[in-house]
Structure 1
Amino acid sequence: MLMGSKTILVAEDSSVIQNITKRVLQFQNYNIKSAKNGQQVMDMLKKEHFDAILLDINMPIMDGMECARQIRDLPDQTKAKTPLIAITGNAKNFTEDDFKAVGINEFLPKPLNFDTLVSTVNRLTNN
């Protein structure tokens, strides 16, 4: 683990997207953890702190919208305020207001533009 590097949780059920995202962010000196669904995110949040969470909206077991809602409702205020970046292949199903309503800070459409991803993560983690 790099000293002083920020930890990003990538919640994405596609291992291809997860691996590319991980590589891109590791190249920027981020420490990356990954989850396959919203339930894993909630379980991991109980044990550790993340500087930002990338949430795929369409995941099995618990989707990104429900996961975001539960994160914002956490009793630990630091964790409840974790920056959330939604990743979605069908943003048409949701409006920006839908994302804001569950507490998502930003959303990025798929296919991901990795320059935008990096600049968004940098901005939200003050890196």
Structure 2
Amino acid sequence: AGGRVLLVEDEMSILKFTARMFQKHGFQVHTTAMNGLEGLEMMNRNIYVAVFTDINMPVMDGFECVRRFRDWENESEERRSLRGGRQFVCAVTANAGPQGDRDRALRTGLMDAFVAKPAKIMDLVAMARRSAEDTLGHSNGN
């Protein structure tokens, strides 16, 4: 099994398709996060091999979601002892041009990776697999 993945996406068709593809490749998927606030609540309660978040969403955008999560993650000693101390988060967005979300994601250091929409599912699966391998290495003390 690939482990648990969280998808934070407000477009239901993208969410359902991406979830099916991850499940087809052996991952468990939580599909209920349709905005940044729901994503934040799920990230605070669970540990995932990878989180993939849209940026432009209602209620709370992906940057604010991950910023708040990183603040909580940094304050949580228990959380730091898991997964080598940092949850893998990848931004997935259509606004990838100059001065767009990609530059902001890299500049802020909140995101571990960035993918422009339309995302190739195998790129996302490969990231999740690498993150899962890193997680296993940390949990085994390697």
* TM band (smaller chain): 0.7 to 0.9
The residue number in structure 1 matching 2:65 is 67
SS in 2 for 1:126: helix
The residue number in structure 2 matching 1:83 is 88
> What code does the residue aligned with 1:106 have?
A
Mapped partners of 1:14, 1:103: distance in 2? 23
Mapped partners of 1:48, 1:7: distance in 2? 9
Matched, 1:24 2:21: yes
SS in 2 for 1:125: helix
Q: How does 1:113-124 map to 2 (within 5 A)?
A: 113-124=120-131
Count how many residue pairs are aligned between Structure 1 and Structure 2. Answer: 123
Q: Which runs of 5+ in 1 are unaligned?
A: none
Which residue, 100, 106, 111 being the options, matches 1:104?
111
Residues 11-40 of structure 1, C-alpha deviation per residue, up to 9 Å, x if partnerless?
A: 000011111110111011111002001100
Aligned Cα root-mean-square deviation (Å): 1.9
Displacement of 1:70 in angstroms is 1.1
As a proportion of its length, which structure holds more helix?
2
The residue number in structure 2 matching 1:33 is 30
Identity of aligned residues (%): 28
Mapped partners of 1:38, 1:64: distance in 2? 5
**Inter-CA distance 95–10: structure 2 relative to 1 (3 Å threshold):** closer
Contact kept, 8 Å, 1:13 with 1:60, in 2: the verdict is yes
Displacement of 1:111 in angstroms is 0.8
Displacement of 1:90 in angstroms is 0.9
SS in 1 for 2:111: coil
Q: Which runs of 5+ in 2 are unaligned?
A: 135-142
Mapped partners of 1:37, 1:45: distance in 2? 12
Mapped partners of 2:15, 2:2: distance in 1? 19
